[in-house]
Amino acid sequence: MTILSKYKISGHSMEPAIKDKDYVLVSGLTYLFRKPQVGDVVLFRIKKETYIKRIERINGEKFFVLGDNSNDSLDSRDFGWIPKNKILGKVILKI
Amino acid sequence: MKLKQLLFFLKERVAYAHCDIPCGIYDPHASQVAAHTILRMTQLISEIKRENETKAEHDIARTTFVKEEHSDLLEEELDTLAHDYFKQEQYEQFPNLKELFEKTLKAGAKARQNIDIEAAKETLENTMQIAEIFFKSKGVESIRVPSLFPTGGEIVVQK
């Protein structure tokens, strides 16, 4: 993960906060200084793809993530809890 | 210069905020074929004669490449079954399933890293057990039939 990355969003699972084709800025540094928190929107790698979701629950070093638009979302309800080392960074800005 | 203009120069990547297409089409056949192929490639590597070094190196390179390819394929197929097909209720119904996936991946990694017939056989056996659980979870009977592959052994199919 780089210090700052720009991602284009593909899909609708984070609507209304982040829409399809929106751009977001992701910080790879934030979680070096503090732990991920409930409500953070994070990017993570699973099955060789990068996904964006919001942290809904925390259990130690594992995170349960959900899409805001939960009717149309592949998330922890499907693939389970995400370990911290899969998290690439925190979304800090919608461009 | 505005922030947007500055950020324009950052490399663009894609993050997915969508679901997999919920096709519901899952099958444990491909994982078993991949496991048989890993075993076959391991057998072939073990049988390579060193009489002609250049040919031997060439054959080892090709066979190892196929072994790697099918190790990737097996991991991908198992990943799909473990995360897309099997849900929490099935992990509760088959309490050894999670451990079985882990054991299969470990044996698969050993078979990938070494020329290890036993690890390749263990990978195949575990993959077949996952296939049997897959069919049980669908409420249908399965049966082990001769694979008809040069590896010998069996393959699990719907009865």
What digits encode the pLDDT tens for the residues B87-116? 778 888 999 999 999 999 999 999 999 999
Interface test with A, best of B16, B72, B87 (most A CBs within 10 A): B16
**Higher-confidence position of B15 and B148:** B148
Q: What is the complex's ipTM, to 2 decimals?
A: 0.78
Q: Is B12 on the interface with A (CB under 8 A)?
A: yes
Structurally, at CATH architecture level, domain B28-158 sits in Up-down Bundle (1.20)
Min distance A30 CA to chain B CA atoms (Å) = 18
- Given a cut of 80, is residue B19 above it in pLDDT? no
CB proximity list for B5: less than 8 A, separation 6 or greater:
none
Average pLDDT (B24-36) is 91
A87 closest CA partner among A6, A34, A31, A7: A31
pLDDT band at A71 (very low <50, low <70, confident <90, very high): low
Mean pLDDT estimate for chain B: 90
Sketch the domain layout of chain A as residue ranges: 4-94
CB contact under 8 A, B17 and A95: no
DSSP single-letter state for residue B116: -
- Please report, as a single letter, which amino acid is at residue B141: E
Q: B151-159: long-range contacts (C-beta < 8 A, 24 or more apart)?
A: B151/B36, B151/B39, B151/B40, B151/B43, B151/B124, B153/B36, B153/B39, B153/B121, B153/B124, B154/B128, B155/B29, B155/B32, B155/B33, B155/B36, B155/B128, B156/B28, B156/B32, B156/B128, B156/B131, B156/B132, B157/B29
Min distance A92 CA to chain B CA atoms (Å) = 13
Q: What is the CATH number of domain A4-94?
A: 2.10.109.10
What digits encode the pLDDT tens for the residues A24-57? 999 999 999 999 999 999 999 887 788 999 999 9
Percent of chain B with pLDDT over 90: 72
Residues of chain B positioned with their CB less than 8 A from the CB of A9: 14-15, 17
Q: pTM higher than 0.80, yes or no?
A: no
Min distance A14 CA to chain B CA atoms (Å) = 6
CB contact under 8 A, B11 and A5: yes
pLDDT band at B23 (very low <50, low <70, confident <90, very high): low
C-beta of residue B126 within 8 angstroms of C-beta of residue B103: yes
How high is the pLDDT of residue B1? 56
CB contact under 8 A, B18 and A47: no
Sketch the domain layout of chain B as residue ranges: 28-158
Of the candidates B12, B18, B20, which has its C-beta nearest A6's C-beta? B12
